[in-house]
Structure 1
Amino acid sequence: MLRQYFRFARSHKVVLVDPTRGVKAKGPSGFSGTTVAVDQQRQMFRRWITGTDAHPHEALLGTLALLHAASSREVRLLRVEDLDLTSRTIRLGKRPHQVPMDPASWSVLQRCLAHRADLPTENPHVIVTRITKGTRAPASTAYVSHLLDPCGVPARTLRCTRLADLVSTLDPKLVAAALGMDPEGVMIYLADHVDEQRLPLPSNS
């Protein structure tokens, strides 16, 4: 609107200089990346938790990314020694605290451990492939990057979905502290709008 006004004013010699010339408008400050719709999240969740088609590695990566904002790297480097079977918590990456596992995530983790035990292997990582079972190396980055191909959604998008949800509903500083991230890195996931479904219902009084 200002650009149009000053172009009009200058053309009619109301002003001599257009102050908006060369000024670029900033884009929206809220998160504008790709996220997964709730219906699709539920569909994938059912595939990983109750379905029988998903490979245990796919289910683990997908569930941890969607529910716990885990990165592919955190899941790829997850070791058996990072699991606390008594408290049902795991250590993810550089997060300052153990991450409590909900029943669904814990059941997926147990399936992945059962798959690992069937190999068998002395590899210390949770995700072990036929190539790495005779070594102590983690699964390759390429292998993990293709685990969610059957779903058509990369782990990064699932993680972004969870981060955007956490930052929009909780204190971003607390989210950053819990995930071991810089506050500046978390703030980019702050949305510029609120989902109407999250708003309280209007009072009848």
Structure 2
Amino acid sequence: MGTLARALETFFTMHGLAMVTDQAERLAAGRRRRRIDAVPQDLRPPVQAIADFMMHSRERARRAGTRPRSDATVEAALAIVRDLARFLAGHRGKHDWALTDVHDIEAYLTNQPKARKRRLVVLGQFFRFARSRKIVLVDPARGLTSRGPSGFTGATLTLDQQRALFRRWTTAPDIHPHEALLGVLALLHGVSSREVKMLQTGDLDLRARTARLGDRPHPVPLDPASWSVVERCLAHRGAQRTNNPHVMVTRQTKSGRGPASTAYVSHVLDDCGFPPRMIRCTRLLDLVNTMDPKLVAAAFGMGPEATMIYLADHIDETRLSQWETPRT
């Protein structure tokens, strides 16, 4: 579906003149089909079976009013099972799921150690399903643990890197407004890519210079540097003459009312050389270790457990002077 077709669909559905098309469903079905077709022929039927099972489970969840699996969740699960099937056929010489053992699973998990937890969850679901259908006699993933550290282990920015990025986004005239918006808000306010993507003009208070971001319970006051990049982004949006309510508007979304795509937002900061998650984690790590993690969780609309992983395992020595035992 092209830009004109999306614009016409948005117009007619908003005015009740037509029903929403099944474009998104057909695209998701195509993505699922490509993942299943990439599985070796001998190992493909069980993967097709679990894909059908997940889709039927999603329909039941919708009818029951519970939270169904999203297309992204189903596609990610199929991709993990597809990669395991290709690993078994290409590196282990096995073309039957019943021949899979725990050593095969361990060898597959070592390829991407950071994704071990997620892969184990999906593989556990797959092999439980396969065992219930008599495809395998023993669950090879049973008993495996992630054995990963529970704390934060990602990379963060140094102070010099943060200063360089701040100067880039606040002083360089040739930086795209979308890069400056996402970069500055992530660097100073710990904003996620989704919060920037979903930010609308109605969430901005031009007089108080605040913004409602994601699930945060209160409007976030914006400093002069942050407000300056917001104004630049609003000027860029105004030049496109769009009715899209979002602050970040692209050429693909200016004719509709939807947010920018996840793929677009994930590549906005490519020119600066650092991913949005790394910049956001740097800010969260600093806030949690200088403030009360519970206060940070409340301000960001997060659960207390979500901020505890950023708590470093050290004590600031300057805060222990009052507890120092006097010498006698």
1:41-120 equivalences in 2 (<5 Å): 41-120=162-241
What is the match of residue 156 of structure 2? 35
Gapped runs of 5+ residues in structure 1? 1-25
What is the match of residue 259 of structure 2? 138
Residue deviations 1:13-35, cap 9 Å, x none?
Answer: xxxxxxxxxxxxx8876533210
Q: Distance in 1 between matches of 2:148 and 2:249?
A: 44
Matched, 1:177 2:298: yes
Q: Distance in 2 between matches of 1:132 and 1:44?
A: 28
Q: 1:67 is aligned with what amino acid?
A: L
Residue deviations 1:76-96, cap 9 Å, x none?
Answer: 000000000111000000100
Rg bigger for which structure?
2
Question: Under a length normalisation based on structure 1, what TM-score does the superposition of the two structures give?
Answer: 0.80
Tell me which protein shows more helix as a share of its residues: 2
Q: 1:167 is aligned with what amino acid?
A: V
Q: Distance in 2 between matches of 1:149 and 1:168?
A: 28
State the superposition RMSD in angstroms: 1.8
Q: 2:314 is aligned with what amino acid?
A: H
- Counterpart selection for 1:156 from 277, 299, 311: 277
Residue deviations 1:107-144, cap 9 Å, x none?
Answer: 00000000000011000000001111110010000000
Secondary structure, aligned partner of 2:280: helix
**Residue 195 of structure 1: how far off its partner (Å):** 7.4
Distance 1:37 1:142, change over 3 A: same
Q: 1:106 is aligned with what amino acid?
A: W
What is the match of residue 314 of structure 2? 193
**Residue 53 of structure 1: how far off its partner (Å):** 2.6
Q: 2:242 is aligned with what amino acid?
A: T
Gapped runs of 5+ residues in structure 2? 1-146, 322-328
Tell me how many residue pairs correspond in the alignment: 174
Q: Distance in 2 between matches of 1:59 and 1:27?
A: 35
